[in-house]
Chains A and B, each alone.
Chain A
Amino acid sequence: MSHTITPINANIRSVAHGESEPPNAIEARGLGKRYGKRWALSECTFSMPAGKVAALVGPNGAGKTTLLHLCVGLLRPDAGAVTVLGYAPAAQTKALLARVGFIAQDHPLYKDFTVAETLTLGRKLNPHWEDTIATERLARLHIPLDQRVGKLSGGQQAQVALALALAKRPQVLLLDEPVASLDPLARRDFLRTLMEAVVEQGMTVLLSSHIVADLERVCDYLIILAASRVQLAGDMEMLIASHKRLVGPRRDASSLAPLRRTHTIIEESHTPRQTSLLVRLNGPLLDPTWEVQDVTLEDMTLAYLGQPPESEAGK
């Protein structure tokens, strides 16, 4: 079985745009990257439809940064392939970089540049640059253009990095742990700015995070990466709806067998009297003795991160 679910309505937004975007903004097939003998990412396969705002979730060291760097041509794959907007990032870097925005972890900027100079950098280096996108956004946030970037707060620096990435008018925006270093207020402001921009500019977003909070509100697509592999990828709502917590009287392994035939048990815990399962339902649940509870994104993510992959995800 495959964990990849491609929703039927994946292309609606790109069609409405009237642009000839490929159906999938990002496609990875057996993608792998090795550092020495250690595979930082292996057999990574998923398709991300255009127009989605996707969360790439996983613990530190799961390969999230490696995956994003592969998507933007900073790294070359050692196995498999990835395409972004139909371009191979490492080979067609120039065409790709004109259309893809990237904000690296901790949003690196030249600290001795002023904000205005940072925007000049963007204007000089990007073919589709739109100055007003950045300047209006920064004015709204009361970030002075003549200030040195190094003198700004972390949250403001993140906003400058975001303005720089948005003003190049990317079709795909990749963000690596954009809010990890921010305090809760700055985190909320950053995500709000990002969401406004997504609505205004209609782009595909893939943002990585090891913090699950906030993402459920912001993202409509989910990729879970753990132990250098894709554990789960699909439409956020559908995934959350298809996962349930089942609580019932204590069962042993053999009595769970009928359940396993149809459904996938992600996580199980047993007390002497009770059994609790986090299950991915692949059809109707026939056994009425289970108490069925909804799960949150966090429950579901933690279950996947806690378990080794039950099936060979991504093969």
Chain B
Amino acid sequence: MIWLAWRQMRSATFVVGISLGLLMAGLLVSGAIIRSDFTRMGIGSCLADPTRAGCDPTVFAFQDRYLPLTTFLAWLNVFPALAGALVGAPLVARELEQRTHLLVWTQGITRTRWLFSRLGEIVCVSLLAALILTAAFSWWHGPLDQFQSRFNAGVFDLEGMVPLSYTLFAVALGIAAGAFIRRSVPAIAATLAGFLAVRLPILLWARPYGFQRPVVVTWDPFYAHTQRASNADWILSDGQWVDRHGQHVGIGTVFNTCASGPTDGGYSFYPGDPFTQCTHAHGWLIQTIYQPADRFWVFQGIESAIFIGLAIALLALTLWWVRRT
């Protein structure tokens, strides 16, 4: 049965392997360039001691050149969905469409065994590809991690365990959709839609607010020109004015009250200046809401557990369904 599973996956594995190889080559070359620039431009020592002379322009130049690449690489997020749609969905659906299930389900093995073998092979190959991609991305992104939070959507989703859990979920969803819908193309569409239907609410709501209550801090700009959160934290909201009781104060109220005279389109905003003296006198504070950087692995764990749990449920459902008929 392993022979058959491999024989039927052979061409797909070749295509995936070749695309993966090209992608890896690109990551390897650009990653090496980023690393050599990081060393050559002395970014490491600048980050260690930000007060050093001439550091700011260098660091900005480095960021300007390489941080946009992160946005570009966010395209790697489509990998799990593609694996689910193109490898998962046809697994059962294609057999049913071409009626070869009548051939393979009436040889000397049970349907359960057939499904386990085919499913096992597909899951293993997809997870292996996801693992390689994740490792390559993490290595590639290493130098850039120091400029932005690892919670950024283009980073969190591509590092650690979550890419593997997304892949497992998408493949399981694809297999289940193919088995229930029985036709490849609608199953592919359902897989993509279903994947987004789970992935987006978790990305947009559960991760920022649902897993753990975010930290809320208030600070008085009269004393310090700083937020309490650091660059590495995941800042969800920053700049909301509140009064002493934590009630929101509209930004219009604040500026109408405290910004005296012509504005020239901007306000000075330094500790102790007239503007901050005024806000201080009214007892107005600025609120920052964020998830601390050290929750990275907790969030990775929670999110992975959700997707792995869903994947196992879907695979169990598929097994029951395929055996039932």
Residues of A within 8 A of B (CB): 72-76, 93-94, 97-98, 100-102, 104, 106, 108-111, 113, 117, 120-122, 124-129, 161, 168
Contact = CB atoms under 8 A, between A and B. Distances in A.
Interface of B: 1, 3-4, 7-8, 98-100, 102-111, 324-325
Interface of chain B: mostly helix, strand, loop or mixed: loop
B325 A127 contact: no
Nearest to A109: B103
B5 to A, nearest CB: 10
In the A-B complex, the 7 residue pairs with the closest CB atoms? A104-B102, A125-B107, A126-B108, A102-B106, A108-B99, A98-B108, A108-B100
B98 A108 contact: yes
Contacts of B104: 121, 125
B322 to A, nearest CB: 11
Contacts of A72: 106
Contacts of B3: 120-121, 124
Given A74-B325, A93-B111, A108-B99, A121 B106 contact: no
B100 A110 contact: yes
Nearest to A108: B99
Nearest to A168: B108
B118 to A, nearest CB: 12
A143 B51 CA distance: 81
A124 B4 contact: yes
B108 A125 contact: yes
Given A74-B105, A76-B324, A168-B108, 4 more contacts: A97-B110, A98-B108, A125-B1, A128-B108
Nearest to A129: B108
B196 to A, nearest CB: 32
Nearest to B102: A104
Contacts of B7: 113, 117, 120-121
A108 B111 CA distance: 17
A75 B98 CA distance: 18
A122 B7 CA distance: 13
A104 B4 contact: no
A94 B4 contact: no
Contact of B110 (A75, A94, A101): A94
A74 B106 contact: yes
A121 B110 contact: no
A16 B111 CA distance: 34
Nearest to B3: A124
Contacts of B1: 124-125
A121 B325 contact: no
Contacts of A122: 107
